[in-house]
Amino acid sequence: MTVIRGLPISAAVEGIVDEAVVRRLITHVGGVPGTVYGRNGKSYLQRKIQGYNSAARRTPWIVLVDLDHEVDCAPLLCKKWVPAKASLLCFRVAVREVEAWLLADARGIAEFLGIAASRVPRDPEALEDPKLAMIQLAQASPRRAVVQDMVPRPQGGREVGPAYASQLIEFASEKWRPDVASQHADSLRRAIRCLRSLSEQCGDPQGL
């Protein structure tokens, strides 16, 4: 197989927060973000995964999914979804949700929310529900906009606040420090390593 250097890295994700995280990670390792597919939930990605895997025989791809509580560990989910992974596919699993990766930059998320860094869980991948932990931290924020945007309304019937995703997209895109976060989230560290290898394999050696 011939790999064309300088190719953008295509992606498939569960939602728009995951898209911001993936784009940030691709640029972080020196790659070029390509088209992002999915953004329609986990079950949609699972239905489409074989198509993404086939495309990754020719061009670089990253597929990011949350572990949630589907199986006990990330390797089992990888084996379940992609038993025969293409050489240019970086299939990564956030343990247990992508919010854990954002929480892993404790000082960064604390400054963004306006709370003390000591409030942020030190082992975000051990959390049963990282999204709930994020909402609880936002609820403690002295910033009215953070609370209004991220915390669900009482009896509103929503899991998160009306601009929860927008706030996290801003953080992931502009404030989040992946290298710092990767020191406290092993699944993120592995994702960065996989993406860096993919970028080096398919990127322009002259940086053009």
3 occurs within a structural domain: no
- Work out how many domains the chain is built from and give that number: 2
Whether 117 and 64 map to the same domain: the answer is no
| pLDDT, tens digit, 9 for 90 and up, residues 115-127 | 999 999 999 999 9
Please say if the pLDDT value at position 11 is more than 50.
Answer: yes
2 occurs within a structural domain: no
4 occurs within a structural domain: no
Q: Residue 60's domain spans which residues?
A: 9-95+185-202
Number of CB atoms found within 10 A of residue 130's CB: 25
Closest CA to 187 of 35, 41, 87, 75: 75
Give the separation between CA 172 and CA 53, rounded to whole angstroms. Answer: 26
Whether 172 and 190 map to the same domain: the answer is no
What CATH code is carried by the domain that includes residue 26?
A: 3.40.50
| pLDDT, tens digit, 9 for 90 and up, residues 176-206 | 999 999 999 999 999 999 999 999 888 654 3
pLDDT (mean) for 51-72:
96
Whether 71 and 123 map to the same domain: the answer is no
